[in-house]
Structure 1
Amino acid sequence: MSATDALSPQKTLTALFFGLVVGTVLFGITLVESYRYFKSYKNDTIQQKSLVALLVGLDLLHFSFSIHVSYHYLVESFGDSDSINRAIWSVKALGTVHVMLLWLVQFLYLTRIWSLTRRMLLHRKLLVPVLCAVIVIGIMGFGAGLAFILELDRIEYILDFARIKWVIYLALGVSAATDIAISTIMVLILHRSITGMKRTDGVISALIHYFFSTGLLTSLTALIYLILFAASAQTALYLGVVFLISRLYTISFLEFRLNVRNQLREDLEATVELAFSSLEDQNAFERCKWQLVPLFERTTAEYGSAFRGGMRSGRMQITQAIYIVC
């Protein structure tokens, strides 16, 4: 592309303005969610808190670059056709931070899947493909993001993005596919964790709904970005969507760390009544070692022999536990 090619100023600036407005609202939600997290989970490990702080820090950096990009094109370059066509440094920085933020969120979800599949009693025929899928997805996401960052450094004008459309299609396609794959794997893992107990199954259903909806939302956003880029590269409407995508990833992860954990805690604080056919069975159960862990980290197969015997006499109350080893 050359400087003689020009953007459509009105549509481009409109997209930047509304993208910044909506992005500002979403960043406010990010700040509220992060404040609630650090206030509610003071006992989390330093590593967990550091990852959340890093995520919020990247989102703050992304938001700062969004403001600079908007100010440059809406104020400083207003009426200057050459300046409005140039890709300033903050555009490249915005794209780089965007990729890094997506890397971090998807890495955190993939490590969670890796951890869950290794701890659950999955059949080897299922365990190996899942772990291989996690590795492949991680490599593809990193490779596509790295290719985009390298090509981004060569951009001089906004319209030059059309010259590297292949890497943009690749990065967006891999990102959307990664989100769908993460959601699908998590849903399958959670589905295999169904216990037959009404309360715990309700929690699992809520988690399934969460991962399905968040994966669908981020994938649809990437698809909208792709459509806008393919259909109207001359107007750069897609730049407005860039202000939103990273915010959605940050909010979805903070929502998982905060509200989903709160819901799990509330639902798992209930008590259940167990009945034993004899005093011997009751004493055997009381000798069992049991501990509370996150619901989706254990399967029903790990209940072991704790539930042997009939259900006629010898009642006792216990806090609802998910992991029981006798």
Structure 2
Amino acid sequence: MGEYDTNVGPILLGIFLNTYLYGLVTNQYMNYVNHKFNDPAWIRTIVIILFVLDTTHSAAGIYAAWNLCVTNFNNPHILRTVDWTIPFTAIAVATSGVVTQVFLIYRVFKLTKKKWLLVFLATLSIGGYVCGWIAAVKSGIIKEVSKFRQIVPLVIGWLALLCIVDLLITAILTFVLVRSKTGFRRTDTIINRLIRGAIQTGLFASMFALGDLFSFVFAPRTTFYAMFAYPIGRIYTNTLLGTLNARMVFHRMDQQNSSGGTGVRLIPVHIHTARVLLTEDCAAMADDRPVPHADVHPPDVS
């Protein structure tokens, strides 16, 4: 395996995967805009900020590929340094991660009503965000790949906290959903689907964060870290948009079940005010409208 295989190849693979995931983000964003949810301004602002950030970062990735493979085709020395796209990638990932995590942490708080849990998770998430920003700024100042050992502690702190918060959010949401089971087959089928989505989403993001971490620490002479770093931000944005857009799916399922006259409401599951759920491939949030009267209500989990 040559030097280009371990330095150029991983960057291109990361950019290719990032571009694919950006297509999914764009589709999710258009679905959100077209459905015209009655969300508060702060949620709409978050969605716009993340979409603009993802668009900018994806464009930066295309530029990085061009700069590496075209502009500097005959310049192997380019592999010894990093340009502005690598620090910007760290900033984009850190920002997407903290915004999505804080949003989900808020939903965890709405479920559990535990302020200490809100403060604990938010502190970990923001701590990782700060480490990510500092690592990004220092990498832009250092530039030389051979000197990146200086920022290893910051990268470890950032990606480790990113992974820990993801897993904690997944575990808490899974625990609450398991406790919300009602014994009614149709409702429990939906809850099981939500649990699978919570686990899959948390593990997916955590695997990429760990891949980025291990590659940076144990393969410092390669760019395998970039193969994981580029797509992470898109994973978080897809998670948040999936959380919001899944209300369409569950609302349709709710209407279909109601029209069938079963007398049991599938959605929203009665967890406090039924405002937080997970979808089949990300996290899903049920409608924020009040829960209408149903013949059977699943037990509260307060």
| TM tier relative to shorter chain | 0.7 to 0.9
SS in 2 for 1:255: helix
> Which residue in 1 is equivalent to 2:67?
72
Partner of 1:185: 172
Deviation at 1:323, TM superposition (A): 9.1
Does residue 144 in structure 1 map to residue 114 in structure 2? no
Whichever residue aligns with residue 108 of structure 1, its letter is F
In 2, the alpha carbon distance for the partners of 1:133 and 1:230 equals 27
- Is the Cα contact below 8 Å between 1:293 and 1:323 reproduced in 2? no
Quote how far apart the aligned CAs of 1:70 are: 1.6
Match for residue 283 of structure 2? none
Q: 1:47 to 1:323 in 2, by over 3 A?
A: farther
Paired letter, 2:45: S
Indicate the percent of aligned positions where both proteins have the same amino acid.
22
CA distance in 2, matches of 1:148, 1:294: 42
Cα distance between partner residues in 2 of 1:159 and 1:254: 38
Question: Which has the larger strand fraction?
Answer: 1
The alpha-carbon distance between structure 1 residues 150 and 90, as it changes in their structure 2 partners (threshold 3 A), is closer
CA apart distance, 1:182 = 0.8
Aligned partner of 1:228 among 210, 215, 221: 215
Q: Deviations over 1:125-165 (max 9, x none)?
A: xx465345334433433343344234334322233323311
Residue of structure 2 in register with 1:29 after alignment: 24
The structural deviation recorded for 1:199 is 2.7
Q: By how many angstroms is 1:173 displaced?
A: 1.0
Q: Give TM-score, length-normalised by structure 2.
A: 0.80
| CA deviation profile, 1:94-125 (whole Å, cap 9, x unmatched) | 2212211111111111111122222xxxxxxx
- TM-score using structure 1 length: 0.75
The aligned length equals: 276
Structure showing greater radius of gyration is 1
Q: Quote the offset at 1:28 in angstroms.
A: 1.0
Q: Would you say the 8 A contact 1:194–1:201 is kept in 2? A: yes
2:147 is equivalent to residue 173 of structure 1: no
Deviation at 1:35, TM superposition (A): 0.9
Distance 1:135 1:236, change over 3 A: closer
Q: Does 1:255 align with 2:247?
A: no
The 5 Å alignment of 1:271-286 reads: 271=258, 272-273=262-263
**Alignment of 1:14 onto 2:1:** no
Unaligned runs of 5+ in 1: 1-6, 119-126, 275-290, 301-317
Is it true that 1:206 corresponds to 2:201 in the alignment?
Answer: no
Preserved contact between residue 110 and residue 182 of structure 1 (Cα < 8 Å) = yes
Aligned CA-pair RMSD: 2.9
Please say if residues 142 and 148 of structure 2, whose CA atoms lie closer than 8 Å, have aligned partners that are also in contact.
yes
Q: 1:50 aligns with which of 32, 45, 51?
A: 45
Deviation at 1:80, TM superposition (A): 1.5
